[in-house]
Amino acid sequence: MKIFAVILLSCTLTLYQHGKTLREEGKQVEAMQAFIEAAHSGTDDEALLGRIRSNMANMCRQANDHETAFEVYALSAEHFWKANDTLAYAYALNNMAWEQAVMGHKDSARALISQAITVYPHEPLLDKVRESQAAACFFAQEYDSVLYYTASSHDSDYLLMLRAQAFSFLQMDDSATFYAKLLLPRMTNPFYLDDLYYILTHNDLSAQKDTLLKWSSERADVQKQIKERHGQLALAVHLLQQDLHPQKQSLSIWFILLIVSGLALALIIWLIYIAYQQYLLHAEKAKFEQARIQELNANKQLLLESEDIRQELVWNDYEALRREINKRFFNLAAKLQDMDLNEQDIRMCILVLIGLSHKETAEMLNCSPKSIGKLKDLTARKLGVSGGQLQEKLLKTAIL
């Protein structure tokens, strides 16, 4: 077992060192992949795992993904705690505080800073703690407090940068320019060049043109390098996020599938509801039509049983006839008139609907029984049906 543990440790160290080398060479994605493999190598060396996670978190910080950086620094802190490495644990807490400060969570940052100082209240941690304290104040726009935490002759480049920016935001241009010029010759971090250029070009009115041109040229080169590096770092962080949350993508797919299934179910329920409503509407319509048919047939029967249909329908007075037919047969005369039938056609339709024979119809229309069939066909043709279909057509027209 010990031999196996030694082999695992050796493999983890090799991957860790390889990842650091790749980082120095600018191969950020390959470096992150090496760190991920090292983290999953199976070693129980908590201190080494903590350093691996710290490197991952540093890459997230450089990619400006502070949420992921905070999460990974927290993992490194857990490893260092298990390894009883007090200084490394305190550093991890301080790094967590810095990420909280950048995200604007001032109270959380200060709580983590206090915890780090309690764990290891000695140098060199205290110098790094001042950076987090200054950052928390800076991102909270408490610029006077920034000046307090950066007031030291042993300030790091980052603290000098914060001090220059604080003076600039406080509109103390001379002091901002002084610290920007102080930082420029000793600057080791090219990422500060953009801020320095802004301060010097906006506050130092006496700056020489050739010097500004030099800074501008250097700034453009650095910005190009930073952009290329940031693109690589973003890909590396994405790789890390997939490792930290392996089920995040699958959960998203399941969530999408759940939504789609829910929408499909809702659509099916809606279609069933619409179909049911259509069924009720159709049933109600059928019931309504049946009632009208019964009423219409009753009226037909009354007329057929009448001793004198001609007198019953006021046959010689067309207007009176039309009113009576509209009243008895659901506005049939008005509907037929809207279908461009003339007075003679409407009289024919009424007689056909009632069901009189050709002889009776001829008597009512004062014409020859031989011409009734022809007149009936002509009227039916105007309604788009044959003579044999005329009565059914009139029945539908009346009840609808």
- Give residue-wise pLDDT tens across range 79-135: 999 999 999 999 999 999 989 988 988 889 889 988 988 988 888 888 888 888 888
The CA distance from 311 to 294, in Å, is 24
The CA distance from 399 to 392, in Å, is 11
> Which is more confidently placed, 32 or 312?
32
Which amino acid, one-letter code, is at 220?
Answer: A
* pTM of the predicted model as reported, rounded to 2 decimal places: 0.56
Residues 177-188 pLDDT 10s? 888 777 777 666
In this predicted structure, which of 93-97, 118-122, 200-204, 364-368 has the lowest mean pLDDT? 200-204
Q: Radius of gyration over alpha carbons of the chain, in Å?
A: 47
The CA distance from 32 to 233, in Å, is 9
Question: In angstroms, what CA-CA distances link 88 with 13, 93, 159, 218, 313?
Answer: 18, 9, 22, 36, 111
Contact 173, 199 (CB under 8 A): no
pLDDT at residue 232 in the model: 76
Residues 63-74 pLDDT 10s? 888 888 899 999
Query: What is the mean pLDDT of the segment spanning 324-353?
Result: 85
Query: What is the mean pLDDT of the segment spanning 275-281?
Result: 86
pLDDT at residue 81 in the model: 93
Structure token digits, residue 189: 């971090």
Does the pLDDT value for residue 204 go beyond 60?
no
Residues 301-338 pLDDT 10s? 777 766 677 667 777 788 888 888 888 888 888 888 88
pLDDT at residue 208 in the model: 46
Question: In angstroms, what CA-CA distances link 341 with 321, 348, 399?
Answer: 15, 10, 18
Structure token digits, residue 244: 């930290």
Which residues fall within 8 angstroms of residue 155, CB to CB, at 6 or more apart?
163
pLDDT at residue 209 in the model: 46
Which amino acid, one-letter code, is at 153?
Answer: S
Which residues fall within 8 angstroms of residue 115, CB to CB, at 6 or more apart?
93
pLDDT at residue 262 in the model: 82
- On average, the pLDDT of the chain sits at 80
Q: What is the DSSP letter of 313?
A: T
pLDDT at residue 191 in the model: 61
> Which is more confidently placed, 142 or 286?
142
- Share above pLDDT 90 across residues of the chain, in percent, rounded to a whole number: 7
Does the pLDDT value for residue 207 go beyond 80?
no
Contact 128, 137 (CB under 8 A): no
